A and B are shown apart, each in its own frame.
Chain A
Amino acid sequence: MAAVTVGISIDVSEKRYAGSRPIIALRSLETRIAPGEFCVVTGPSGCGKTTLLNIVAGLDKDFSGVLGFEPAGGRLPRIGYVFQNPRLLPWRTVRENIALVRPHGHDRLELERLLGEVGLADAADIYPTRLSGGMARRAALARAFAITPDLLLMDEPFVSLDGPAADRLRGLLIRLVTSRPVTALFVTHDLGEAVELADRVLVLSPSPGRIVAEMPIPLPRERRDDGDTLAALQAELARLAGIQPGRSSLRIPSS
C-alpha cells in the first residue's frame, strides 16, 4: 500500500491534565499542516510539544478541540512515531523490532533494503541493549519508515546524541523523507536543527502552549547546507521566537 500524503488540521482549544493541581498544557493552538509539509515545532521545556504529538498520534483523546486529517473521510493515516527514547523492545532483535510493526506478509527484501539504508544491515540480528545510542535511534527511525507512513511524528529524536552523530542522523532523515512522500511533524529544542529540516517552523509559548511565531522556509533543503545560510536562518528564527541572539536553544536552564 503506497503512502498518501495527508494534511492535518489541528484546532486544540484546550488540553488540561487533571489532578490536584490541574495543568493546562495547550490552549488555542490552531494550525494546518499541508500534505507533504515538514513542520517543526519548537518552544521552551514543558510547553506541550510532546502533548501535541500525542494528540495528533491519537494516543491522547482527552482534549477539547478538533483534529482532522485530509483527505477527510479516508482511512486513518498510517503514523510512524519516533519517540524521544527509541522505545525498542529489548527482547526482540533489531530486525524483529522493525518487522513487528509491518503488516503480515510484508516484503522481506524491502525490510532488508531499509535496514541497509539506515546502516543497520550488520546489526540486524542483535538485541537493542547492545546498540549504541545512535544505532538505537537509527532503528527507531527505520521502524517508523517501515510502515510506509503517511505521517511521521518525531519527538526530539536526536536529543542526547553528540554533535557529529546527530548530524549524520539528520542527513539520514533528510534522505529518507526526500525519497518518500510523507508529512512530518518534528519537535525539537534546537533552533539549528529546526531551520535545517523545516519547511515551516512553529514556535510555541511557555505553558500553556500556543503558537506565538511561525516561520516558513521556502529555500529547498539541499540549498541550506552551507553554514552561513543556516546561521542566517537560525538568527531569523531566534529573533522571531524572541530570544537573545547567540543562543541556539530554547531550553530553559534548570534552576
Chain B
Amino acid sequence: MTRFPAAIAERAASLLALLGAWEGAAWFAHSRLFPGPGTVLATLADETINGDLLYHLGATLARVAVAFALAMTIGSAIGIAMARSRALDALLDSWVVLFLNLPALVLAVLLYVWLGLTEAAAIGAVTLSKLPTVVVTLREGARALDADLAAMAKSFRLSAWRTLRHVTLPQLSPFFVIASRTGLALIWKIVLVVELLGRPDGIGYAIQMFFQLFDIKRLIAYSLAFVAVVLVIEWGILQPFERRLTRWRR
C-alpha cells in the first residue's frame, strides 16, 4: 500500500500527457471539427447544467440497468439449468452458439422491424446480445461445482436455502463477476448502437444527432460523460464487489 500514491501520480501524469497531446493536436488542426480538451470540458459543464446531457445519460443508464439485470438473471438461470440437465444442454447448446455469433446490429435491426421502434425492442436487443455470454459463463461455473462440498452439505442435512447461500453461490460468485464485467463491457457498446438506430433519447441518440449537425465538441463531450460514468461504475461498484467476494483467498 505504500506504493499507492506513486501509482496515482503515475496515472495522473499519464492522463495529463494525453490531454497535452490532444490540446497540441487540436491547436495544430485548428478546426471547428477538432475541438481541444478545454473547449470540450467547457461544453461538458455547460451541457450538464443547461443542456440535456443528464437526461440522455439517465435514459442510457436506465436501459443498461434493465438489460443487464434481465440478461444476468435469465442467463444465469439458463446456464445453471444447462449444467444440471444433459437433455437441456443438448437442446440449447447450438442455440447458444448461434446467438453468440449473431451480431448485435442484426438483432437490433430485426427487433426494431418486428416490434417497431419501441423501448421493448431496444432493451430486448441489448439483453439478447448479452444473454449467451452469461449462459456460457455460468454453465462453466455450475459444471465446476465441488461434489465433495455438496456431499458435506447433504450429510449434515443443510436446508436448501443454506446450501444455496453458503455452499453453491460462493462457488458461482467468481463466474457472476466475470459475466458482469464482460457483460457490461459489451452492453455499453451495444446500447449506443441500439439508441442510434431507433430511440428518441439516450447518449446514442445524442451522438447521432450531433454527428448530423457536425457538432463535434458536443459529440465528444457526451461521449466523455458516458466513459466517465462507465469508469465510475467499474471502479466504484464492480471492483470493490469483486474484492469483497475474494476476500477469503488472502
Contact = CB atoms under 8 A, between A and B. Distances in A.
Contacts of A83: 148, 151-152
A59 B150 CA distance: 10
A100 B155 contact: no
Interface stretch (A19-27, A29-37, A88-96, A174-182): A88-96
A85 B249 CA distance: 19
A147 interface: yes
A81 interface: yes
A89 B152 CA distance: 10
Interface of B is mostly: helix
B167 A89 contact: yes
A90 B248 contact: yes
A101 B158 contact: yes
A92 B162 CA distance: 13
Interface of A is mostly: loop
Contact of B166 (A79, A89, A127): A89
A92 B166 contact: yes
B166 A58 contact: no
Contacts of B249: 90, 129
Contacts of B157: 78-79
Given A85-B148, A100-B162, A100-B166, A91 B248 contact: yes
A85 B158 CA distance: 19
B166 A147 contact: no
Nearest to B249: A129
Contacts of A80: 156
B154 A89 contact: no
B58 interface: no
A80 B152 CA distance: 10
A85 B154 CA distance: 16
A81 B155 contact: yes
Contacts of B170: 89, 91-92
A49 B249 CA distance: 33
A211 interface: no
Contact of B158 (A57, A59, A78, A100): A100
Given A89-B170, A90-B248, A127-B248, 9 more contacts: A58-B154, A58-B155, A59-B151, A59-B155, A81-B152, A81-B156, A87-B148, A92-B166, A129-B248
Interface of A: 54, 57-59, 78-81, 83, 85, 87, 89-92, 96, 100-101, 127, 129, 143, 147, 153
